[in-house]
Chains A and B, each alone.
Chain A
């Protein structure tokens, strides 16, 4: 029986990942490609050359320009090559796309893995909290997942285009993960727990990371046009909302068709 619930999540996640890939290719990827033209334009190439010979210590003393900060973040943790991103699918010594796949295949694979991951998280949340996901309430579960994983964290850390200025990567990731966890717990208390105390506690949990504040870059100048950034933020949030609604509905459907059909 347990396996059937996991199987249901797997099916829903893979299905949603495929649809998400189509939505991304239509609305999001063109904006990423457009932004990379600005990222790789005037500043990126010399900046990368500057950090390449000094991959360890000396790179850390560089000034935090918008692009430099981003490059330093990556250079400190991994190869500086990945900043420029393997543009035409060319391979670099450390970065590059897995198994020599095309850019699209890499995105599709990543969407399948991410979709399955979010499906398992949603199913796990439902199972542990004892609130079943059905066809009737699936879209609402999906919307709640979107709020917790995308909309609420985006208040502090809006979806970034390549070349956007950003604060320290580790600090942003910590804030992001903490915000997702607190938002999920807050939504649970708000929507699924009866009683005024739970509602108040839920609102407090939702507000806490926003009041604390996300790590912000000190310099917000960027080569990427603002209009692209605005279009991208909306496109990213819209496509992820689409993904989560599909995920919630298909998980409800899979739960009723696969998990219950024992």
Chain B
């Protein structure tokens, strides 16, 4: 672990990239499912959320 008291990122550069890319992929998957996916069930469940967030939706 890189030692740093002033930064809140205390990971090594490599771990930081792994964590960051994983977070980006997982986050994109979740946002896609809730906001954009073409599924009637997902659409109806997330209907008010989709409109509120301004996702392009039906």
Q: Using a CB–CB distance below 8 Å, which chain A residues touch chain B? A: 1-2, 5-6, 9, 20, 24, 28-29, 32, 70, 73-74, 77-79, 81-83, 85-86, 92, 94-98, 101, 103, 106-107, 109-111, 113-114, 116-130, 132-134, 149-150, 153-154, 157-162, 166, 169, 172-173, 175-177, 236-237, 239-240, 252, 255-256, 259-260, 262
Q: Which chain B residues in 1-38 approach chain A with CB under 8 Å?
A: 1, 7-11, 13, 15-36, 38
Given A107-B48, A128-B20, A128-B21: A96 in contact with B30 (beta carbons within 8 A): no
Closest chain A residue to B39 by CB distance? A78
Do A97 and B24 touch (CB < 8 A)? no
CA distance A19 to B47 in the complex (A): 18
State which of B19, B30, B58 has its C-beta within 8 Å of the C-beta of A73: B58
B29 near A78 (CB under 8 angstroms)? no
Please classify how large the interface on chain B is, using the bins under 10, 10 to 19, 20 to 34, 35 or more: 35 or more
Instruction: Report the minimal beta-carbon distance from B42 to chain A, rounded to whole angstroms.
Output: 8
Q: A86-B44, A154-B54, A236-B52 are in contact. Are A1 and B11 (CB under 8 A)?
A: yes
By the criterion CB–CB under 8 Å, are B52 and A117 in contact? Answer: no
CA distance A158 to B54 in the complex (A): 7
Residue of A nearest to B23 (CB): A124
Chain A contacts for B47, CB-based, 8 A: 85, 103, 106-107
Known: A120-B26, A154-B54. A259 touches B8 (CB 8 A): yes
A-B contact sample (15 more), CB < 8 A, given A9-B23, A160-B56: A1-B10, A9-B27, A32-B51, A73-B58, A78-B40, A83-B58, A85-B44, A95-B43, A119-B27, A122-B27, A127-B16, A130-B9, A133-B8, A160-B54, A237-B54
Q: How far is the CB of A110 from chain B (nearest CB, A)?
A: 4
Complex contact A176–B56 (CB within 8 A): yes
Residues of B with C-beta under 8 A to A107: 46-49
Q: List 9 tightest A-B contacts by C-beta distance, closest first.
A: A120-B27, A127-B20, A117-B30, A124-B23, A124-B24, A110-B46, A159-B54, A128-B20, A121-B27
Interface of A is mostly: helix
Tell me the complex Cα distance, A154–B56, Å: 10
Contact B23 A103 (CB under 8 A): no
Across-interface contacts of A239 in B (CB, < 8 A): 52
A255 to B9, CA, bound (A): 8
Q: Can you list 8 A-B contacts with CB-CB less than 8 angstroms, sorted by A residue number?
A: A2-B15, A82-B58, A85-B47, A110-B46, A114-B34, A123-B27, A134-B8, A149-B53
CA distance A181 to B39 in the complex (A): 23
Known: A1-B15, A113-B33. A236 touches B23 (CB 8 A): no
Chain A residues near B1 (CB-CB < 8 A): 1, 262
Nearest residue, chain B, Cβ from A161: B51
